[in-house]
Amino acid sequence: MKPIRIIFLSLFVLAITPAFAENGSLLSGETMNYIGFGAIVLALITLCVAMYIVLKAFRVVAKILLGPEELEEKKVDKVALKAQKKAARSERINKIFSLKPMSEEQSILIPHEYDGIQELNNPTPAWFMYLFYVTIVFAVGYLLIYHVFGVGQLQYDEYRTEMAVAAKEKAAFLAKSADNVDETTVKLSADATVLAAGKATFDGKCAACHGNNGQGVVGPNLTDDYWLHGNKISDIFKTIKYGVQSKGMPTWESQLTPKQISDVANYVKSLHGTNPANPKEPQGTKMADDENSAKDAKPKTAMVVK
Amino acid sequence: MQPEKFYYDNKIVRNFGIATVIWGIIGMLVGLIVAIQLYKPEMNMHNQYTTFGRVRPLHTNAVIFAFVGNAIFMGIYYSLQRLMKARMFSDVLSKLHFWGWQLIIVSAVITLPLGLTTSHEYAELEWPIDILITLVWVVFGINMFGTIIKRRERHIYVAVWFYIATFVTIAVLHIVNSIELPVGFFKSYMVYAGVQDALVQWWYGHNAVAFFLTTPYLGMMYYFLPKMANRPIYSYKLSILHFWALIFIYIWAGPHHLLYTTLPGWAQSLGVAFSVMLIAPSWGGMINGLLTLRGAWDKVRDDVTLKFMVVGLTAYGMATFEGPMLSLKQVNAIGHFTDWIIAHVHVGALGWNGFLTFAILYWLVPRIYKTELYSKKMASFHFWIGTLGILFYAIPMYWAGFTQGLMLKEFTPEGILKYPSFLETTMRILPMHVMRSVGGAMYLTGVIVMAYNLYKTAIQGKLVANEAAEAMPLPKLNPEASTERWHRRLERKPIMFLVASLIVILIGTFVELMPTLTISSNIPTIASVKPYSPLELQGRDLYIREGCSNCHSQTIRPFRSETERYGEYSKAGEFVYDHPFLWGSKRTGPDLQREGGKYSNSWHYNHLMDPRLMSPGSIMPNYDWLITQKLDTTTTAVKIRAMQKLGVPYPAGYDKVANQDLDKQAKGIADNLAKDHIKVKSNKEIVAIIAYLQRLGTDIKAGKTANN
């Protein structure tokens, strides 16, 4: 029982470690993981040791309380009980495996030995044969279903079905959702929550190539007046969504939700003119920031239009 | 008739025993190091020779061929002599076999860290070593059959049936899977490409498990278990049934390693169907073993060797039930490429092979040294720490496998991958990887304790190098013999037995391999798929040298979760120039089949130099030596000519101008990198590997643009 308990405990602990790790505030998640982990291993070892000590202690206590004679009696009782249980168990096993009682074993001993090893002439257990037959029927059935009757879908049909179902579910979900934006409906926004969400995504996905402040590293500078693929909010949305394969900009359509793409696009717009340190040299053509300036110049009209 | 006197050769058994223990410790230690590298990449000791991609094959080769291999020979040399009532056929061949095998292992220990590899899993050794393996295997075969032929026992016992099947099948597997075209002394290209190469490799890989890790151990179980328990084998009939069923069915099951790949559907389905049918034949061995212990269970409580046997047999039973379950497509879709598989193989390897080996060592060493085991307490400690070690290893790995397998498949309601970054799933399972290395360390501790215990046992006794024995010579076959049942008759004809086993294993081999290798409609070609440029070809060989395929697959299965994550699913026609195929079997990192064009050259440069620059938290090691090492272009011509021989359509005489193209492409990449302020000479290795990575999976995109 004890080992089983230990296993369950360790499984439980393993299951909850990641949950703890995610809330790490000061330390990084990884360090938290390791600390939590060390603690668990330590706790497990302590538990093993503690159980061992308790077991020893019980024995000593039993010896003192019962006195030597009584202890002997108890032992004898225990042995008798054990023998009884064992007999009952072996009978059950004999039934399951259709075994001959040990006393009749001589009758099925094959009269031959190999370096002292003998063999019994037991039949193959019935349940074993059934297991074999069932797996054979399964195998034949499997081949028939997939390759003769064509009932089962092979992998490419299975894939088409999976994609069709997924597309339907996605459409149904997005129809109900307010976040269903695309490059034609995306709107410029200076809302603080939008920009904060955009910054979070930017830091996680974009900063590696465009720099923490959009100054450009491998990818182009996003803060200057020069643009490769347009500087309108709809252009930026499109660039992020579909990527630019030839220049190494990945497609984000399958990794970010439409709302996230829109947030990042707005965040990128907000970076314009921030003049970060170590800017990358300009790439593309110089473009005026029509949208932002338009907004600044005629905020009232913009509001009205909206 | 007088009984004949002769001597058993115990010295060769002892030698194989020592080799087993030493290589076991080395192999497991290397395993522990690579396990730690999976959460602490710096454990590669900052040099290329001890980095995961090169050392992981060393771990697998060392434990399979060095630890288990030597244990097999130890068990066979001990039991075969006694079952045949004869000394080994030739002492010279025995010695040749022993030293030849150790030479193979030493050459593996040298070549694998150097990056000399064929990239075929469990067959990584290059062609000169392949030839050496063949020779040593022939020596072993002659020695074994010589002994069988001069036997003093009419019928051959079930253990020897398994030895015969092992010998003949491993010979066939090794030869077919090593058909390669040398391009220099330590480099070769597989003759088959892509899908065909994959099928041959996994037909081999799966049956290496069957005929190197399973059948010889079943044979040893049939000898040592009844000896240890002093009980008769439970059922002779079951032995016959499960032996033939096992070797016939096992050989068909290889394609279950390639489910949802571009392998033809019929071959995949055969793999699944036969894997399921394997349950009963595999269990036959376990049942026959456990029921042999009937009436001896009270001994199991006291006798540590029997304890090892029982846990070993149970682990075998669990692994052989799990295997068929993992072959079911729906289960495989989650488990394949994850740590689940690692857990599965280690239950088999640590539980079945390891524990049986330990049991045999504990039983056999005191006997050949005519003494008692030095410390039963230590052996008992070994048993418990080993068992706990297996649990601490397997449970976290199962957990990690499920977690990652399910995370990778999860979508948000918006239809977007919930964990679009592969790295996120990797980070989540790192604690499980830490736990696994703790389990591995416990297991290794047990083995070291065993080594000490056995050493003490040996020095307190004295080796009986030649153990006296006597037996009656074989009398003339008496007339009753013709009334024997057919199988009984077969048991006294070892050569017939060999031929029968060969035929049985060749049936599945032919049905599965032949159509795929010969019928072209099984691999539809794609017009836009072109041979690799010389630079890409060199880059590909670097990818092979560094063992990238140990962590990165190159095959995208037709699942929504994979096409959304990686791009369009793989097509058979894309791999036709891939000698060898590089699909991999484990995704410690993401799939790379559509890597080409996903990132810029400078991204790859930075990422290879230090992966954490581009992917914070990554557990990929730094490959900074690629930046300093010069690409060896002297091999380009011979490589191009070899590829032409294998049917890759480079224009005639291209080998002479290939290096000009190579330089041009390399310069282009170096110039491109320079634009991003990365100064690197175009003759460095990193340029070649970037060229290869940027080519991966792009050919069918080119086809699309042309069509549109």
Q: Which two tokens stand for residue A90?
A: 């072996």
Asked whether residue B43 is assigned to any structural domain, the reply reads yes
Q: CB neighbours of B525 closer than 8 A, spacing ≥ 6? A: B573, B576
Contact map slice: A 266-305 vs B, CB within 8 A: none
Q: Is the dihedral of CA B194, B195, B196, B200 positive or negative?
A: positive
What letter would DSSP give residue B181? E
CA separation for the pair B77, B8 (Å, rounded): 9
Q: Do B85 and A128 touch (CB under 8 A)?
A: no
- Backbone φ, ψ for residue B444 (5° rounding): -65, -40
Dist. CA A198–CA A190, nearest whole Å: 11
B194 in a structural domain: yes
What's the mean pLDDT in B640-655?
94
Residues 521-560 in B contacting A (C-alpha not used; CB under 8 Å)? 557-560
Enter the tokens of residue B196: 């065909």
Residues B201, B97 share a domain: yes
One domain, residues B451 and B548 = no
Taking 60 as the threshold, does the pLDDT of residue A23 lie above it?
no
SS3 B190: strand
Q: Report yes or no: A239 and A229 within 8 Å, Cβ to Cβ.
A: yes
Q: How far is B237 from chain A (nearest CA, A)?
A: 6
Binding-face residues of A in 89-108 toward B, CB within 8 A: 97, 99, 102, 105
Q: B417: which chain A residues are within 8 Å (Cβ-Cβ)?
A: 254-255
Q: Distance (Å, rounded) from C-alpha A72 to C-alpha A275?
A: 89
Residue B523 lies in a domain: no
What is the structure's pLDDT at A10? 66
Say how many C-beta atoms besides its own lie within 10 A of residue B295's C-beta. 15
Burial environment of residue A253 by CB neighbours within 10 A (0 to 12, 13 to 18, 19 or more):
middle
Mean pLDDT along residues A220-227:
89
Say how many C-beta atoms besides its own lie within 10 A of residue A156's C-beta.
11
Whether A194 and A266 have beta carbons less than 8 Å apart is answered as yes
Cβ <8 Å between B294 and A102:
yes
Instruction: Using alpha carbons, select from B234, B203, B239 the residue that is nearest to residue B219.
Output: B239
First vs last C-alpha separation in chain B? 90
User: Nearest CA to A162 among B264, B593, B561?
Assistant: B561
Does residue B598 form part of some domain? yes
Between A124 and B686, the higher pLDDT residue: B686
B139 and B46 housed in the same domain: yes
Claim to verify: residue B652 and residue B688 sit in the same structural domain: yes
CB-nearest to A124 from B238, B399, B613 is B238
What residues does B9 pair with on adjacent strands? Answer: B466
**pTM, rounded to two decimals:** 0.84
Q: Which chain B residues contact residue A173 at CB under 8 A? A: 413-415
Residue B594 in contact with partner chain A when CB distance is under 8 A: no
Residue B5 lies in a domain: no
> Which chain A residue has the Cα nearest residue B291?
A97
The pLDDT of A288-299, averaged and rounded, is 57
Give the model's confidence band at A9: pLDDT under 50 very low, under 70 low, under 90 confident, else very high: low
Q: How far is CA A22 from the centre of its chain?
A: 14
Q: Do B238 and A128 touch (CB under 8 A)?
A: yes
Tell me the shortest Cα–Cα distance from B281 to chain A, in angstroms: 8
Q: Yes or no: say if B316 and B286 are a contact pair by the CB < 8 Å rule.
A: yes
Q: Is residue B481 part of a domain?
A: no
CB of B676 within 8 Å of a chain A CB? The answer is yes
From the CA atom positions of chain A, what is the Rg in Å? 37
ipTM exceeds 0.95, yes or no? no
Nearest-CB residue to B560 (from A3, A123, A166): A166
Domain membership of residue B558 (yes or no) is yes
The reply to whether B641 touches chain A by the CB within 8 Å rule is no
Strand, helix or coil at B119? coil
- Best of B249, B263, B414, B672 to disrupt the A interface (most A CBs within 10 Å) is B414
Question: Is the separation of the CB atoms in B568 and B597 below 8 Å?
Answer: no
Q: How sure is the predictor about A298, in pLDDT bands with cuts at 50, 70 and 90? A: very low
Distance (Å) from the alpha carbon of A200 to chain B's nearest alpha carbon: 15
Give me the amino acid identity at A277.
Answer: A
Q: Do A121 and B237 touch (CB under 8 A)?
A: yes
Q: Specify the DSSP element, H or E, that contains B218.
A: helix B215-229
How does B595-629 read in b/e, with b if 16+ C-beta sit within 10 Å?
bbbbbbbbbbbbbbbebebbbeebbbbbbebbbee
Q: Are residues B497 and B558 in the same domain?
A: no
Determine the average pLDDT of the residues in B41-65.
Answer: 94
Chain-chain contact of A125 with B287 (C-beta, under 8 angstroms) = yes
- Which of B:229-268 have CB within 8 Å of A? 232-239, 241, 245, 260, 265-266, 268
Inter-chain residue contact B414 with A173, CB threshold 8 Å: yes
State the pLDDT at residue A24.
40
Nearest to A209 by CA among A157, A250, A179: A250
Beta pairing class for B466-471 and B180-182: unpaired
- How far is the C-alpha of A108 from the C-alpha of A121, rounded, in Å? 5
Of B113, B114, B48, B57, nearest in space to B622 by CA: B48
Nearest-neighbour CA in chain B from A97: distance (Å):
9
- In the predicted structure, residue A142 carries a pLDDT above the cut 90: yes
CB A117 within 8 A of CB B233: yes
Q: Which residues of A touch B438 (CB under 8 A)?
A: 41
Q: Does B492 touch chain A (CB under 8 A)?
A: no
Half-sphere exposure of B229 (CA within 13 A, CB side): 27
Which of A7, A18, A33 minimises the CB distance to B391? Answer: A7
State the Rg of chain B over Cα.
26
Could you give the 3-state DSSP secondary structure of residue B235?
Answer: strand
Indicate if the pLDDT at residue B53 is higher than 90: yes
Residue in A112, A166, A218 nearest the CB of B603: A218
Q: What is the DSSP letter of A273?
A: T
User: What mean pLDDT, rounded, does chain B reach?
Assistant: 94
User: Can you tell me the mean pLDDT for B288-307?
Assistant: 90
Q: How far apart are CA A238 and CA A244, in angstroms?
A: 10
Q: Quick one: which of A78, A77, A104, A102 has its CA closest to A90?
A: A102
Mean pLDDT of the B567-575 span: 93
Residue A260 backbone phi and psi in degrees, to 5: -65, -40
- Give contacts of A 23-82 with B, CB under 8 A: 29-30, 33-34, 36-37, 41
Q: In terms of CA atoms, which chain B residue is nearest residue A156?
A: B558
Contact B388, B382 (CB under 8 A): no
Q: Are residues B138 and B203 in the same domain?
A: yes
For residues B147 and B93, the answer to whether their CB atoms sit within 8 Å is: no
Interface test with B, best of A119, A131, A259 (most B CBs within 10 A): A119
Number of neighbouring beta carbons within 10 Å of residue A201: 21
Residues of B in Cβ contact (< 8 Å) with A179: 414
Q: Which residues have CB under 8 Å from B386's CB, separation 6+?
A: B308, B350, B354, B355, B358, B442, B443, B446, B447
| Contact indicator for A2, A40 with CB cutoff of 8 Å | no
Q: How many secondary structure helices (H) and strands (E) does chain B include?
A: 30, 4
Residues of B with CB below 8 A from A138's CB? 273, 276-277
Is B541 found in the same domain as B447? no
The two tokens of residue B163 are: 């030895």
- Residue B180 DSSP symbol: E
Count of other CB atoms within 10 angstroms of residue B494: 20
Helices (H), B67-193: 69-84, 91-111, 127-149, 158-177
A17, A124, A209: residue with CB nearest B237: A124
Option in A15, A119, A248 nearest B236 (CB): A119
pLDDT band at A302 (very low <50, low <70, confident <90, very high): very low
**B358 and B448 both lie in a single domain:** yes
Domain tally for chain B?
2
Classify the phi-psi angles of A211: left when phi > 0, otherwise alpha if psi is within -120 to 50, otherwise beta: left
Displacement of CA B514 from its chain's centroid (Å): 23
Closest in A17, A99, A170 to B431, CB measured: A17
Q: Give how far A39 is from chain B: nearest CA, Å.
A: 12
The pLDDT value given to residue B706: 38
Do B295 and B331 lie in one domain? The reply is: yes
Q: Is residue B201 part of a domain?
A: yes
Same domain, B464 and B542: no
The shortest CB-CB distance from A173 to any of B413, B434, B559 is to B413
Closest CA to B314 of B280, B367, B284, B351: B351
Whether the pLDDT of residue B704 is over 80: the answer is no
Give the confidence band of B415 by pLDDT, cuts at 50, 70, 90: confident
Measure the CA–CA gap between B603 and B239, rounded to whole angstroms: 59
Range of the domain at B97: 10-474+486-513
pLDDT of B471? 93
- What pLDDT is attached to residue B435? 94
CATH of the domain at B550: 1.10.760.10
Which residues of chain A from 161 to 180 reach within 8 Å of chain B, CB to CB?
A: 162-163, 166-167, 169-170, 173-174, 177, 179
pLDDT-wise least confident of A12-26, B224-238, B668-682: A12-26
Q: What are the residues whose beta carbons fall under 8 Å from the beta carbon of B687, sequence distance 6 or more?
A: B535, B631, B666, B669, B670, B680
Residues B540 and B495 grouped into a single domain: no
Closest residue to B614, CB basis, from A116, A123, A208: A208
Q: Which residues of B507-536 are buried (b: 16+ CB within 10 A; e: fewer)?
A: ebbeebbeebeeeeebbeeeebbebbbbbb
pLDDT in tens, B430-479: 999 999 999 999 999 999 999 999 999 999 999 999 999 999 998 888 77
For residue B510, CA distances in Å to A32, B150, B203, B249, B638 come to 55, 34, 11, 13, 33
Helix/strand/coil percent split, chain A, to 5: 65, 5, 30
Residues B505, B598 share a domain = no
- First-last CA distance in chain A: 70
* Cα B669 from chain centre: 37
The rounded distance, in Å, linking the Cα atoms of B636 and B688 is 12
| Per-residue confidence (pLDDT) for residue B519, from 0 to 100 | 76
User: Is B225 part of the contact surface with chain A (CB cutoff 8 Å)?
Assistant: no
CATH number for the domain spanning B236: value is 1.20.210.10
pLDDT in tens, A75-87: 788 888 888 888 8
From the CA of B174, how many Å to the nearest CA of chain A?
Answer: 29
B136 band by pLDDT with thresholds 50, 70 and 90: very high
In the predicted model, is pLDDT for residue A299 greater than 80?
no
